[in-house]
Structure 1
Amino acid sequence: MKYYTAQEHFERIFANTKRTHEFIASDTAEFGAWSESLRLKLNELMGTDQMTLCPPRPRVAEEIACDGYVRKKILIDTEEDITMPFYMLIPSGVYKGEKRTALIACHGHSSCGKEAVAGVREKTAVAGTIEDYNYNYGEEFARRGYIVFAPDARGFGERREKYDQGDEPEKLLSSSCAYLNVMAMSLGQTVIGMWVWDLMRLADFALSCECVNGHVVCAGLSGGGMQSLMLAAMDVRIECCIISGYFYGYLQSLLINYNCHCNYVPNLWKTADIGDIGALISPRPVLIETGNKDSLNGQDGLGNVLPQIEKVRKAMKLFGKEDNLYHDIFEGEHKWHGDKAYQWMISHMPPKMEEGK
């Protein structure tokens, strides 16, 4: 049978479309004007300009002593009728009155939300995904001295919508991205926008905690890498970030490959590519992990990654901060690598950073 498909049509449209907010600044003044314009545009495209602040009303749901840290489950409100549960991991060595750096640890898919990132292994499915993807990086950062905040993104874990709820293994590791994005886009919002908004509210809460020293950083794998990227790009309070398994050209990795609904924002591809968004983080330090066999990189593999990395490098160069970009290319598939990431974060934003520095 002969099929008459539209993919090549859309590939051609993408290739012939000039991104309206492509990074082309030649000095820091141009960068400032460009970055302000792109952030405003992303705010509009993602729908975060429609969201409204509310009191966080924090409440502690549980507190458990773990090996090397205390794990608190906390709930906050991010909009008037939206609640976000998260784990707060406090290293055992933190004494009363001591302040540490806050690290927001974002999860991706097949995680049961915050459970895998925080190293909660009671359920076999979660223990397996931790093993497969080195998913417990939130727990590992806590053991290295950071105050870790590991949230459930909307549609994951305790925030799954009705069609994805349940404790069966396939349900635990599922998500409601498609259902949420269909509802959201018809109302001018997006899943990415909801995630970024919630993470900003989590940053508000983290910076209000007495045990936090006024510094906040973020890290994440896959969809968590997307969250880490977008949070750092949109919120300049994020002083350092790690993006793992999510940095590649949109054409090959999202249009041709086709991926989860959470990746798609109306008119985003007419506005910017991923390297342009990554450039917004400059001159703040960023480490990007890429597995050389990660299928999400696209059909050209690293050839679809490196041009986007180069955009960030050029932005860093404007500030004389090329060393603030580190690209860790490792032998392997889609997973959190960590070999460079932990020590890199410690060297750029240590857990015991003093306030005001």
Structure 2
Amino acid sequence: MTEPEQLPYLKKIYPTLPAMLRKFDRFARKRAFMGKSVGEFERWRTETRTLLHELLGTEKMESSPAQPQLLSTTAVEGGITREHWRIQVEPEVWMTLFLLVPESADKTTSVFLCPPGHNGAGKYSVAGVRGYPPIDEKIDHYHYDYGLQLAKLGYVAACPDCRGFGERREDPADTTRLSEGLKGDCYRLAHMGEPLGISVIGMLTWDLARLIDWLEADARFDTQRLGALGFSGGGMQTLWLAALDDRVKMAAVSGYLYGYRDALLTLNSNCSCNYVPHLWEYLDMGDIASLIAPRPLWVQSCRDDRLNGPRGVVNVEEQVAIAHSAYRLLGAPDSILYEICPGTHQWHEEHLTENLAFLFTHSMT
């Protein structure tokens, strides 16, 4: 069998991106908040949430009883119990999760949702499940075990598999192949959902809201001061959930809050889960973050994260500034914290205790 011939040498290519950048500049962000009063902002928030539910397709999602099932319990380091659950989020659609419960936890213990990002095998890296070399490597590289870090500090951490990850893969064979097993099936979900008007973000946001429903019904822990913390794709899920669901009382978004033009249009090979049809015509990411105000928001980015786009952290700072203007208008300018960390794309826990104190302090005001 002969080797295939090489492809033709192309001295020049003619890409579409420059034209799409011009279109972005012409058509984007036409529903940004332009008012001056709190009343105008609250009307904008209501109208914008309605618009986003339409764009995400969450109105097409189907309610169902949770039918929770405890699959196993495992004792892990520091007296923490790792509960393995499954709950139903739509008819015949199941979410699997690890619930990390410190031995001191009771009805006064706050809960954090800790959705996973990419390339970490879903909930396993976030919950710090070691003993699998590829997962160990991702935990060490990205500092990925933020769910376990929170549990060690005494919080209950809900670490779910989002659709397409971990036990929620579409193709069982993917779990036997290393690269596919670490990543997710977002492109499959996009191909199934978008022609029906349902985006991947819509599916993931719906599922996390159903997780809150179950935690509230379970009533073992304090969900009145519920938090959400996520890195990368987990930051994406945290951003959208907090923007659309006021039950999230505090949010931490790491490695995600950046402008769409630089980070998702110019860097257009990013995962399908980031893309919502027609979204850019209406809003940028800072506008979505504005919907969280005045609830406390901690944004974390890394100076050399390539996902920031070609202009670096300037692209993040611009979006934080958009959100900050909403916080100022609502009388909570100190309830948004922006942290720039050294290095490339990764979660940083160095100031976790202090920054959690910030979230809790401002959630009381």
Q: Sort the TM-score into its range (normalised by shorter chain).
A: over 0.9
Distance 2:62 2:357 in 1: 34
Amino acid at match of 2:240: M
- What SS class does the counterpart of residue 196 from structure 2 fall into? coil
Query: 1:99 Cα shift?
Result: 2.8
Report what 1:144 is aligned to.
Answer: 153
* TM-score where L is the length of structure 1: 0.95
The answer to whether the 8 Å contact 1:11/1:251 transfers is yes
Indicate the residue corresponding to 1:250 in structure 2.
260
1:29 aligns with 2:75: no
Residue in 2 aligned with 1:326? 337
Per-residue CA shift, 1:218-273, capped at 9, x if unaligned? Answer: 00000000000000001011000000000111011001112111101100000100
- Give the aligned partner of residue 298 of structure 2: 287
Farther off after superposition, 4-13 or 132-141: 4-13
1:123-180: CA deviation from partner (whole Å, max 9, x where unpaired) = 1111110000000000010111111100000011111111762234323202101111
Residue 313 of structure 1, CA deviation = 0.6
Q: Which residue of 1 aligns with 2:216?
A: 207
* Alignment-derived partner of residue 344 in structure 1: 355
Say yes or no: does 1:240 pair with 2:236.
no
> What is the TM-score of this pair, normalised by structure 2?
0.93
1:69-114 per-position Cα deviation (integer Å, ceiling 9, x unaligned):
10000000000020000011110122xx543111000110011000
CA radius of gyration, larger in: 2
Residue in 2 that maps onto 1:225: 235
Say what the alpha-carbon RMSD is for the aligned residues.
Answer: 1.6
Q: How does 1:259-338 map to 2 (within 5 A)?
A: 259-338=270-349
Give the aligned partner of residue 85 of structure 2.
Answer: 74
Q: 5+ unaligned residues in a row in structure 2: which ranges?
A: 1-10
Structure 2 counterpart of 1:120: 129
Counterpart Cα distance in 2 of 1:249 and 1:232: 18
Whichever residue aligns with residue 157 of structure 1, its letter is G
What does residue 182 of structure 1 align with? 191
In the alignment, the residues of structure 1 paired with residue 243 and residue 176 of structure 2 have an alpha-carbon distance, to the nearest angstrom, of 35
4+ runs deviating over 6 angstroms = none
CA distance in 2, matches of 1:270, 1:118: 37
Aligned residues: 351
Give the C-alpha shift of residue 6 in structure 1. Answer: 1.2
Q: Which runs of 5+ in 1 are unaligned?
A: none
Aligned to 2:70: 60
Amino acid in the other structure paired with 2:140: E
Q: Which position in structure 2 is the counterpart of 1:4? A: 14
Q: In 2, Cα distance between the equivalents of 1:75 and 1:99?
A: 24
- Name the % identity: 36
Secondary structure in structure 1 of the residue aligned to 2:197? coil
Q: 1:170 to 1:280 in 2, by over 3 A?
A: same
AA aligned opposite 1:312? A
